[in-house]
Amino acid sequence: MHAISVVGLPNNSVVLSMTGREHPMQYMTNAKIRSLSIVLGLLALGTTASAEPLRIGGTGVALGGMRLLAEAFVETHPDTEIDVLPSLGSSGGVKALLAGAVDLAVSSRALKEAETEKGAIGRLYATTPLAVVTSIGTDADAVTTPELAQMYAGTLSEWPSGEAIRVVLRPESESDTQILRALSDDMAAAVDGALTRPGLVSATNDQENAETLERLPGSVGVVAMGQIRTEGRKLKVLELDGIRPTPGATDARSQRLVKSLYIVTTSATSPAAGAFVDFVFSPEGQAILAANDHTPAE
C-alpha cells in the first residue's frame, strides 16, 4: 500500500504525494479544489487513518488552536504524533473523517443531518468572537453596522483619512458571511450585492482571508479573534457599534458576532484520538483555549 503525505506550501497550496510513485499529484492553489482533492484522493486510495500519527483536519479557523492543544498533548503523550492538516473547510473535514482519511475533524458549524446520519458526532468545544478587522496601517478604530453595510454595498468607498476601502469577501456558504448577513436587513442586502459585484476580492479559506486582509491597504473584513491570536495575525481589530469583541461577553450585541467550534468524531474513533478529545475538554486544554481568545464550552 502506498504511504500518503500532505505537505503545506508557503502559498497555502498543498501537495498530496504517494511514496513509491515517481511524481506527486498535481497541487492546486484554489482552496475548494485543494480540499476536495485531499478528501477524494485519500478516499480513492482506500486509505484509513492510523492511530499514529493522528490527523486533524477541517475549518481553518480552528487550526491554530488545535496546533497549540496538540503541542501540549504530546508533551505528556510522547509516543503520539499529531498532524494538523492545511484547511479543508468544515464540510471537507467531516467528509475526510467519514472517509477514514483523518482521525478527527473540526467544524465552525453544527453538523448537517446528512452528516450525522452517516455517523459523524459533533461536540461544541469553544466559541470565539468574530471581529471586524482592517490592515494595520488603516487610520480607523471603529465602525458602525450602517457604515459596514455601506462599505459592502460600495456606497462608502473611503476611510476618514481618504484611503480606499477594500472589502474582502467570504463565500456565500461560509458561516462568516451568514453571521454578517444577520446583523441587519441592510447588511444582508449589502453582502448579497457584494457577492455578485465584479472586482471584489474573495478569500476561500480562513488563512487566505487573514493573509489578504493583512496585505491589502485599507482592507475590511472579518476574522475570528481566536484565529488572530493563535496565528499571530497582524490585523487591527475595530470596534463595531462601540463594542470591542471580547471572549465570553454575554450581552446581546456581542453575541451577534460569535463563531462556534466543534470537534467531530465517529463511533470508530480510535482510543488515541479519544484521548486527545478528552484533553481538549480537560482543565489544561480549556486553559489553553481561554488564554487564546476562545471561550471553552461548559
Q: Give the pLDDT of residue 173.
A: 92
| Mean of the per-residue pLDDT values of the chain | 87
Q: Give the pLDDT of residue 298.
A: 81
Asked whether residue 269 carries a pLDDT value surpassing 50, the answer given is yes
Q: Which amino acid is at 88?
A: L
Query: What is the rounded average pLDDT of the residues 60-81?
Result: 97
pLDDT band per the 50, 70, 90 thresholds, residue 38: low
Give the model confidence (pLDDT) of 102-143 as tens digits. 999 999 999 999 999 999 999 999 999 999 999 999 999 999
Cell matching residue 97: 473523517
Instruction: For the chain, give every residue range classified as CATH 3.40.190.10.
Output: 4-126+261-296, 128-258
The correct answer on CATH 3.40.50.10790 for the domain covering 128-258 is no
% of the chain residues with pLDDT over 90: 81
Distances (CA, A) of 241 to 142, 143, 166, 281: 8, 6, 20, 33
Asked whether residue 96 carries a pLDDT value surpassing 90, the answer given is yes
90 SS3 class: helix
pLDDT band per the 50, 70, 90 thresholds, residue 52: low
Does residue 10 or residue 55 have the better pLDDT?
Answer: 55
The correct answer on CATH 3.40.190.10 for the domain covering 4-126+261-296 is yes
